[in-house]
Amino acid sequence: MANALRFAALQNRDFRLFWYGQLVSLSGTWMQSVAQGWLVYSLTKSPFYLGLVAACGTLPILLFTLAGGIVADRFRKRNLLLLTQALSIVPALSLGILTDIKIIAVWQVALFAAVLGTVNAFDVPARQSFIFEMVGKNNLTNAIALNSAAFHGARMIGPVIAGMTIASLGLPACFYLNALSFIAVIIALSKIRVKGEVNKTSKGMVKDFIEGIHYMKSQSGVFQIIMLVAIFSLLGMPFITLLPVFAAEIFHRGPDGFGLMVGATGAGALAAAVFLAFRGDIKEKTKFMSFAALSFSILLFVFSFTNYFSVAIGILVFIGWSLVSFFAVANSYIQLSVPDNLRGRAMSVYAFVFLGTAPIGNSIIGTAASTVGTTSTVGMIAVVCFITSIIFCRKICKSQ
């Protein structure tokens, strides 16, 4: 009974349906992520193009996610999610067909990455704020941790399956399987009773947007968390874009090795999410985030100069743990700090800095890796993350 209570959000029928659907769909998404990265590297042999395509996938989030937050507050979130999941099938299926008939080009991969990124700009704020409406305030941290567990469990399973699928069935199979996986979420969402609240006091899209931004800036703790998330998303997370280079050039491995590397970060991320879900809540959230941020920075520096594949796999597990520990608690902290009528916009700001800064970071890291080398680039980024973590962690703790 005690363990059941620790995973209390899964006792909620609607969230349980949502969670199972997400687990299937996200596994497909991570399969496509691995396949897309290997496809781009196979076509170009260039870390610059890896960064460029990744930037195309995240640039729409930078451009449209704040509008997505306003839409999430103005429309039924379940209906909005049904639409975004259906639209997500299109780029996956298109990539599969073009790769299958062997007319795929880098510009096409970039184009479909941008299409999916645009859909995600409206999907993420709605999905994040919809979790609160399904489970309520008391089980929010637990639900966020369980949602992270699904995301990173898929991150562990998907890449490993992708590596085996590429080796046995070829790249197109990964894209086809991802297209099918979205159907799981559509079925789950169609059975969910909660449809999502609508902001009936809207003052218009522009005024709603300004209201959300002003509120976030007025809350010192929330603002500091947002800034630290932005730094990590801009400089820290894009290192994942270069994992195909590490796999092929540093460790001399193929797609199976690349899949294991991505899967290792997923394993650590899953461990963090399960740990947070089992805890139920983290009372001293700012201290926990500080520890996780510093851990990530140190581990990333060590990884950048590791020449042994088995050691790198172990380090990536702990990197995944640190990243998810930080981001999951930051997400919970922000959602619990804002009023209900601003939650969609708060999550759009979070998504804006969490995902929207990635195109800039991916472009920076791709260009730098082509110029000064992959390992040196990741090492320098780790140092910057470490310094900024100390600065921002002090500010966050002082604001409490």
- Is there a contact between 35 and 174 (Cβ–Cβ < 8 Å)? yes
Q: What is the pLDDT of residues 56-87, one digit of tens each?
A: 887 887 788 777 777 877 778 888 999 999 99
Token reading at 358: 């990635």
Residue 198 banded pLDDT, cuts 50, 70, 90: low
Q: What is the pLDDT of residue 90?
A: 94
How many angstroms separate the Cα of 311 from the Cα of each of 221, 266, 267, 270? Answer: 37, 16, 15, 19
The pLDDT of residue 29 is above 90: no
pLDDT averaged over every residue in the chain: 81
Nearest to 217, CA basis, from 126, 343, 349: 349
Q: What is the pLDDT of residue 197?
A: 61
Q: Which CATH superfamily is domain 9-399 in?
A: MFS general substrate transporter like domains (1.20.1250.20)
Q: What is the pLDDT of residues 138-190, one digit of tens each?
A: 777 778 778 777 776 776 677 778 888 888 888 899 999 999 999 888 998 88
Q: What percent of the chain has pLDDT over 70?
A: 85
- Is there a contact between 96 and 367 (Cβ–Cβ < 8 Å)? no
Q: What is the mean pLDDT of residues 248-265?
A: 83
Q: Is the pTM of this model over 0.75?
A: no
- Is there a contact between 174 and 162 (Cβ–Cβ < 8 Å)? yes
Of 207-211, 222-226, 373-377, give the range with the top mean pLDDT. Answer: 373-377
Show me where the domains of the chain are located: 9-399
Q: What is the pLDDT of residue 95?
A: 94
Residue 2 banded pLDDT, cuts 50, 70, 90: very low
Token reading at 171: 């790249």
How many angstroms separate the Cα of 368 from the Cα of each of 47, 53, 262, 306, 362? Answer: 9, 15, 21, 19, 10
